[in-house]
Amino acid sequence: MVIAINTKALLPDKLEGFGYYIEEIFSRIAKNHPEHDFYFFFDRPFDKKFIYATNIHPIVIKPQARFPLAWTIWYNWMLPIYLKRIKADVFISPDGFCSLTTSVPQCLVVHDLAFLHYPQFISKAHLRYYQKNTKRFLNKAKIVVTVSDYSRQDMLQHFQLAANKIQVIGNAANAIFQPVTEAESESIKTKYTDGAEFFIYTGSIHPRKNLINLLKAFSLFKKRLRSNMKLVIAGRLAWKTEEFTKLLATFKFRNDVIITGYLQRNELAILTASAYAMVYPSYFEGFAVPPLEALQCAVPAIVANSSAMPEVGADAYLYINPESAEDIAEKMMLIYKDENLRSRLIANGSERVKLYNWDDAAEKMWQCIQLAATTE
C-alpha cells in the first residue's frame, strides 16, 4: 500500500500533543511494515530525525497551514494533488482535519470535541472553522479514531454517525517517563526549586488547562500550610494567556512558582519524576497524557473529575472539581499530609499504566488504516 500521513505537527524542538502522537504511532507502524510505502506530508522544512525508516518518504506541501484559510488551501486544494501524484491508497490525518475534495479513503483521528464544550477558550476564527467543518470531516472519513470511550460517546451524541465507524485507541506514556534515583531527584530540585519539594503541571498554558484556579489553589495551600513547597509549570505560553500572566505578576507567592517554558522530553521526564505530585486541573480532555506519565514515574496525580480523565485514571488519580480552587487546594493539602493515600495512589498507578501501551495502539491503528483503505 501507499499510505499518506499528515505529519504537520512534527516540529523540531516544538513537539507537543499531536506531534508526540504521530511520532509514537507512525514511527512504529512504518518500522513494523517495511513492505509498504509511507509518505509523510509536512507544511514546512522538516527535520530528518522524523524520517524514522527507509520506507518513509517526506514531502513538503505549501502553504504553512496554521490558520483557517491556509487549512482550507492545504487540505482541499493542495493535498489532493499530492495524494493523486503518489497514488495513495489511504490518507491518515491525526489532527481532526481531513480533505473534503479527495476521493482517497481517509482515516481521521479526532482526540476530543473541546470546541463544543468550551468555545470561549478558542479564537473566533478557529471556532467558526470547527463549527462549519467538523461534521463534514466526520462524514467524509471512512474510519474515525478517537482516544477514549468518552470522546466516542461525545461524537455519537453530537453527530449522526454509525457506531462502528468510530474506533477507540487509547494513548500511552512514553517509555522515557520512569522513576528516578534520589540523587537525580535532588539534582533536578536544586536546578529548578532551590532544593524544595514541588507540585508540577505539565502542558501548554491556555485557559482550558485551568491554571488560574491552580494558582488560586496554590495560594490557599501556601497560606494554610506555610510550607516551602513550590509549584512548577512546565510548558509554553500558548494562547489567551493575558489573564494568567497578569495574575502571576501580582501573585503573592510568585517567587514559589517556576515557569520553565517548553522542555525537551528527556528533561521533562526527569522533572516529572522528581515532583511530589502532579496537579492537572484541565477543564476538558479527550484523554490527558501528562497525568499518565506521572503515574509511570511513580508520582501521584491530582486530576479533574471531568471528561475522559476518570475513564483513563480510575482509582489511580485523586480527583478534584476543576471549577473550585478550594477543592483543588484541599486535595493538594490532603496528598501532602496523607502519606498512606500518596502511597496507595502510586501503587494503583503502577497497575493502571499497564493498560496503555504504544505498541498495542500502533497495531490497532494499523488495523484501522487497513479498514479505511478497504471500506466501500
Tens digits of residue pLDDT in 131-187: 999 999 999 999 999 999 999 999 999 998 999 999 999 999 999 999 999 999 999
* pLDDT score recorded for residue 245: 81
Are 189 and 332 in a shared domain?
A: yes
Are 156 and 20 in a shared domain?
A: yes
pLDDT tens by residue, 82-113: 999 999 999 999 999 999 999 999 999 999 99
Are 145 and 239 in a shared domain?
A: no
Would the pLDDT of 13 be above 90? no
Our count of domains for the chain comes to 2
Would the pLDDT of 353 be above 80? yes
Are 231 and 218 in a shared domain?
A: yes
Amino acid sitting at position 67:
F
Would the pLDDT of 239 be above 80? no
* pLDDT score recorded for residue 243: 80
pLDDT tens by residue, 281-313: 999 999 999 999 999 999 999 999 999 999 999
Are 80 and 166 in a shared domain?
A: yes
* pLDDT score recorded for residue 56: 98
* pLDDT score recorded for residue 310: 98
Would the pLDDT of 247 be above 90? no
Rounded Cα distance, 137 and 199, in Å: 39
Q: How many residues does the chain have?
A: 376
pLDDT tens by residue, 22-60: 999 999 999 999 999 999 999 999 999 999 999 999 999
Are 98 and 129 in a shared domain?
A: yes
Question: Is 288 a member of any domain?
Answer: yes
Are 248 and 332 in a shared domain?
A: yes
Rounded Cα distance, 211 and 23, in Å: 28
> What percent of the chain has pLDDT above 70?
99
Contacts with 233 (C-beta within 8 Å, 6 or more apart), sequence order: 200, 201, 205, 211, 214, 257, 258, 259, 260
Are 141 and 44 in a shared domain?
A: yes
At residue 143, what are phi and psi to the nearest 5 degrees? Answer: -130, 140
Question: Is 6 a member of any domain?
Answer: yes
pLDDT tens by residue, 261-271: 999 999 999 99
Amino acid sitting at position 115:
F
Question: Is 177 a member of any domain?
Answer: no
Cis peptide before 63 (omega within 30 of 0): yes
Could you tell me the CATH number of the domain that includes residue 128? Answer: 3.40.50.2000
Are 14 and 61 in a shared domain?
A: yes
Least confident of 67-81, 181-195, 244-258, 311-325: 244-258
Are 161 and 231 in a shared domain?
A: no
Are 369 and 333 in a shared domain?
A: no
Full domain range(s) for residue 110: 2-172+357-374
Are 53 and 100 in a shared domain?
A: yes
Question: Is 101 a member of any domain?
Answer: yes
Q: pTM for the complete prediction?
A: 0.95
Rounded Cα distance, 175 and 10, in Å: 19
